[in-house]
Amino acid sequence: MKLKDYFKILLTFGALLILGCAAPYRLIEPQTLVYPETMGTTINQEIEITYRYKVLEAKDNKRYERIAKRNGISLLAMRIANYSQDTIYFPEDILIKTESANFHPLEMDEAIDRMLQFNELPSYYIESDDPWLFLGVVSTDVIIMSVQNKANKRFIKEMEEYYLVYSSIPPGEVVSGLIALPVRQNTRLFFEKRD
């Protein structure tokens, strides 16, 4: 086999591998999303909370969506409008519940850890002494790691900027952000103000 043939095989193999093992991260930017009015709650005409599931998938972050689903969590975009006279502390002042249970959002670090792309490299056992084949496999692994690391850094940066847990919403403000909950997607959520 000629050197040219090896390169064609390696490029084809590498491209398929990269597409299957790593994906870029596209920003969600929760303040730009449209929130369906049917997915929300108004509390005492003072607090309006709307949310949206499948924000990762909507921005074509399907790999992150699959990882979150596999780990039993959902990343939601949420908008909280505070029309009251008091500052709201989320989630301390807001109870999140379904028809059958109460939920607390995951801590940001736990949410990030449970949704990152893995930096594990595929294990290859090559029965060849050909240095070109070895070089092609190693360079593919390096490219996969590079794509995963760049995507994970963008994901972490957005989570740090928009994660709502332990945030405060002053009177008259509207805040949009992200939360991770240990619920299945499209689970109907209800919100109550804690006393």
At residue 21, the pLDDT reads 63
pTM over 0.75? The answer is yes
The 3 state secondary structure assigned to 96-130 is: EECCCCEECCCCHHHHHHHHCCCCCCCCCCCCCCC
Q: How many secondary structure helices (H) and strands (E) does the chain include?
A: 5, 9
Output the pLDDT for position 15.
55
- The residue extents of the domains of the chain are 3-117+131-193
Q: What is the pLDDT of residue 43?
A: 86
The per-residue pLDDT for 22 is: 73
pLDDT tens for the chain, 195 residues long, are 666 666 666 666 655 555 556 788 999 999 999 998 778 888 888 999 999 999 999 999 999 999 999 999 999 999 999 999 999 999 999 999 999 999 999 999 999 999 998 755 555 555 666 666 666 666 777 777 888 889 999 999 999 999 999 999 999 999 999 999 999 988 999 999 987
Encode burial over 162-179: b for 16+ CB neighbours within 10 A, e otherwise: bbbbeeebeeeeebbbbb
